[in-house]
Structure 1
């Protein structure tokens, strides 16, 4: 039953029989047969079928919600039993907002040192993708904003507070300042993250509060792309302090505090709310608490 539920979840996630079969490591006929067997065991039709996948029936949607809980509990039980036999082992998939990527090693380095048989996969994701990935069981945990947009029912561990910097080359407008206000950024040729990023929505909010409309000439979902544009001297950007300071250390860029107000937003580790957590997730959350105390 668990294997069939996992295939059903994969089909709902992928929306395509072939991709779901590939994700599960089985053939498409095997996956289709498993779904039909599951329907027979439950006595309801789960999937609208035609020449291709056409979505879940209302009964299928209800089963999906329960299936995710059942499969999550089954995985937790397997992890717990494995940990009791041989210690922590396995793979953790962590989705991280792009602006928090510079600090991930602060979490993963001590964690993997303490648990050498655990492998960690770090994936750059938007805050919305992180929540969806945790819900769909595609991600085990995430690092995202805790205090700006609703998170739903998740376990949270605060890691650090994010502050904001104007980053530009020496000699650019405002580059000689020790600090600037949000209002003074009006008219600068900005390159910013795309609007699907929560960081961009935060920046837009603080600019708007200062009477400034964000109208970037360049947008990207990659912070590296923004920084390479800044390095040309043609643009400036607004980035979190940790990221801006990382690239300003060499002296090639200026990272100037933005004040009035000095905006602050909390970034932290999240995981699905479950009691008890799997040993892997519990250990990761404990590592997050250790990072926060530093």
Structure 2
């Protein structure tokens, strides 16, 4: 759609509603309060129309379509435990998996850019979503067996704060969690390397010259060299819940409903329970 066509469409909608929807000037300055309300309704209408089409398709062909899932970087190695059993049940659904910050996930869900997210559930506000807790995430010092604390069975946050760490960038919720814990333990974290990619952190840790703080689930899901250890961090021993978030909508799309069911089954499996 061209800019003139979009502008004309907005003007027609304003005339029909009898209110101004956008703040105009030489450039777009934002929405008026009425415009924000209209945007909320537009998103709802688009989401409902998409859900209706998928629901009708499901009656004819079963669960089909395209699932877009945004995932915090530290949870990426776990996503295959969602997508693989889902695809076994619904082979006609294709996936797009995106690495995103927790804030980006919330925004993408609001803007209908993704269908679901995998993120922290109990640390920062989530917005208007439905949640499925899947696993509890503890934290580990990933370091060389030859490094300062490499021979330890556990290490404290205060001790970790004295190490030259490579960490995720500050826009990542994992980094904010880790930094808060290090500061509360009396440390002054000053990472020697930052990246928004967990692969970059791992590549440096694997050299044996760097240490990092990563979730236990992440360390359990990737292969580490024999001389690289994953050591529990205590004092305090902190855990956070990670899970699936989907738009709070009724009815949901068939694909989203199926994804929620798979997430609940995975939660039972990871907790060591038996699915009812």
Q: Normalization by structure 2: what TM-score?
A: 0.91
Deviations 1:66-87 (A, max 9, x none): 2112222222222211211221
Q: Which is helix-richer, 1 or 2?
A: 1
**Which residue is 1:114 aligned to?**
89
**Which residue is 1:151 aligned to?**
126
**Which residue is 1:290 aligned to?**
265
Distance in 1 between the 2:32 and 2:153 partners? 59
**Which residue is 1:5 aligned to?**
none
**Residue 126 in structure 1 maps to residue 101 in structure 2:** yes
Deviation at residue 275 of structure 1 after TM alignment: 1.9
Deviation at residue 252 of structure 1 after TM alignment: 4.4
- Unaligned runs of 5+ residues in structure 1 are 1-25
Deviation at residue 41 of structure 1 after TM alignment: 2.8
**Which residue is 1:184 aligned to?**
159
Task: Work out which of the residue numbers 9, 13, 16 in structure 2 matches 1:34.
Answer: 9
> Is the contact made by 1:193 and 1:199 (CA closer than 8 Å) also made in structure 2?
yes
**Residue 237 in structure 1 maps to residue 212 in structure 2:** yes
User: How many residues are aligned here?
Assistant: 269
Within 5 Å, give how 1:14-33 maps onto structure 2.
Answer: 26-33=1-8
**Residue 96 in structure 1 maps to residue 66 in structure 2:** no
In structure 1, the residue corresponding to 2:79 is in which secondary structure?
helix
Q: Normalization by structure 1: what TM-score?
A: 0.86
- Unaligned runs of 5+ residues in structure 2 are 270-276
Within 5 Å, give how 1:217-228 maps onto structure 2.
Answer: 217-228=192-203
Distance in 2 between the 1:89 and 1:52 partners? 41
CA RMSD, 1 decimal: 1.7
Deviation at residue 244 of structure 1 after TM alignment: 2.1
> Is the contact made by 2:66 and 2:94 (CA closer than 8 Å) also made in structure 1?
yes
Deviation at residue 248 of structure 1 after TM alignment: 4.8
Deviates more, 1:169-178 or 1:36-45: 36-45
Report 1 or 2 for greater relative contact order, CA contacts < 8 Å, sequence distance ≥ 6: 2
Distance in 2 between the 1:173 and 1:97 partners? 30
In structure 2, the residue corresponding to 1:178 is in which secondary structure?
coil
**Which residue is 1:8 aligned to?**
none
